[in-house]
Copies of this chain bind each other. A is one copy, B any other.
Amino acid sequence: MDLILLSIGTEILKGRIANTNAQHMAARLFASGFGVREILSIGDTEEAIISSLEGCFAKAQVVIATGGLGPTRDDITKTAACRYFGKKLIFDEELFKKLELFFFSLGYKSFPELSRNQALVPEGATVLPNPRGTASGILFEEQGRLLFLLPGVPGEMKGLLDEQVLPLLLKRFRAGEPETAIVRTIGLGESVIAERIEKGLSEEELALLGYYPHGGQVDIVISGPPGGQSPSGGAIGRVADHVAAVLEGYVFSRDERSLLEIIGSILSREGKKLAVAESCTGGLLAKRITDIPGSSAWFDSGVVSYSNRSKAAYLGVPPELIEKCGAVSEEVAGAMAEGMRQACPADYALGITGIAGPTGGTPEKPAGTVYIALSDETGTRSQKYKFNGDREQVRTRSVIKAVELLWRKLKEDYPLVLP
């Protein structure tokens, strides 16, 4: 079964947003054993939608379209799809009543006139209920071709995909989950990793490898082609073991868990607490930690000390130390981590101070200079780093390095927890 994702709306063509909806759908589909053949972004004109549907259905049996289901005038996906299939739009009384209730629950006194079209349904099509918003999903089924229309609002799309689209596709096309393995690493560059891995592998084994560097980490994914046959003889497991072996010391996970999830599972198992004191990363580290559901079991608190005063008030960093060494220094990073650990008290604390840029750099400490410290009951170690890139990259790389330092310490302290 061939499948194409069709993203409708000018905001992607104008570069205002990245197509993260397509990324999410492709990843979910791939994990369920469905390969995506193409991803196509087009504008919101009837001509573009209709000619794209013609082009897509010439190549694929299933098209999942997103966007253009809202109430405003540039939302024309339903109308265009109806024209393509030669169908009419019919007002659905039952759906309208549900929408009324939804609007009332949001505090509306009356039904917004413009949103009446949200109750229009193409004749013969299936409504896919959307409990998160007013734009229902729609499924057209014509001569073996399946067209799903989903709203472009990410939360609503994700819900409909998981609750309606994937179950239906799995039932219809009985895909099996593809055999796939992942080895997640931190601390080595992509080319060094490839060199180490590829030595001694056969052409067939090399064809299974994919490298996905992202923000200081590299995931190595071992899988057959999407939609294709799994390679025989346990090749995927064998290559994955080889990859993990040659990258020993840099591998933190052999499943989808992130580095912070791994850290969280160690800390909560050991009954230990983490705290963080951030300056240049401004809350990004705390945010990444608390992204993880249940992190309250092992994360105590964080302080974002942008001012020197707050470094003294919350973290007990002596003002004289800041005056002597500068707020961006090995000494202050260490004092931040240690002060944070003792104030909570926590078992482990990270301290980060640096110059994220673009302004604030000096010849001795240019933008990208960052000090990271880790404190536990045995002491506090602080180190200088120089990260390349813009403000966002420097902040992200600082956070990843801090997390890596903590992971290496936890590996030392609890050696049995190694993946």
Contacts and interface: CB of A to CB of B under 8 A. Distances in A.
Given A16-B221, A112-B192, A304-B302, A40 B43 contact: no
Interface in A204-235: 206-207, 209-214, 219, 221, 226
A353 interface: no
Interface string A190-205: 1110110010000000
B304 A286 contact: yes
Interface residues on A, range: 35 or more
Interface stretch (A18-26, A119-127, A241-249, A261-269): A18-26
A97 interface: no
Interface string A279-320: 011111111011101111001111111110110011000000
A73 B284 contact: no
A380 interface: no
B10 A210 contact: yes
Max chain B CB contacts within 10 Å: which of A19, A134, A221, A304? Answer: A304
Contacts of A314: 301, 303, 314, 343
A283 B153 CA distance: 24
Interface stretch (A27-35, A78-86, A166-174, A406-414): A27-35
Given A25-B15, A39-B12, A226-B10, A283 B293 contact: no
Interface stretch (A88-96, A140-148, A386-394): A386-394
Contact of A22 (B19, B192, B211): B19
Interface string A92-135: 00000000000000000000111100000000000000001010
B19 A212 contact: no
A75 to B, nearest CB: 9
A358 interface: yes
B389 A132 contact: yes
A259 interface: no
Contact of A13 (B36, B70, B389): B36
Contacts of A322: none
A74 interface: yes
Interface of A: 10-20, 22-30, 35-43, 48, 52, 55, 70-74, 112-115, 132, 134, 153, 155, 158, 190-192, 194-195, 198, 206-207, 209-214, 219, 221, 226, 273, 276, 278, 280-287, 289-291, 293-296, 299-307, 309-310, 313-314, 343-344, 357-360, 388-393
